[in-house]
Amino acid sequence: DAGVIQSPRHEVTEMGQEVTLRCKPISGHDYLFWYRQTMMRGLELLIYFNNNVPIDDSGMPEDRFSAKMPNASFSTLKIQPSEPRDSAVYFCASSDTNPNTGELFFGEGSRLTVL
């Protein structure tokens, strides 16, 4: 079975440019999560969705970040404008159970470098 699919795997962009990261969760999973991983801060939850509805976006660092889930099989994380401090690996994960008790399935990540 296909796991969580993220694209692009790598992106290098210049400060001020718009970045869009994409995620396809595992079919049938009701929960979708966006995490960011950096050397300094480790893995941080940015936002999560349940049945395509954003439930908690308190981890989104600032208004430059936005996330959408237009349908059950697709989500985007957008950064506009991007800044060098946004450089990180961004992970999407999905779950088919109550996330308080269930396993998260992570994608391979999108490595973003902002110059």
Q: Report in angstroms how near the CB of residue 24 gets to another protein at its nearest.
A: 14
Q: Who contacts 55 (Cβ-Cβ below 8 Å, separation ≥6)?
A: 48, 49
DSSP H/E element including 22: strand 19-24
* 104 binds another protein, rule: CB under 8 A: yes
Q: Who contacts 70 (Cβ-Cβ below 8 Å, separation ≥6)?
A: 52
User: Which residues sit opposite 12 in a β-bridge?
Assistant: 113
* 2 binds another protein, rule: CB under 8 A: no
CA-atom Rg of the chain in angstroms: 13
Candidates 34, 91, 94, 114: give the one binding another protein (CB under 8 A): 91
Candidates 7, 45, 57, 76: give the one binding another protein (CB under 8 A): 45
Interface with another protein (CB under 8 A): 4, 31, 37, 39-40, 42-43, 45, 48, 55-56, 89, 91, 93, 98-101, 103-109, 111
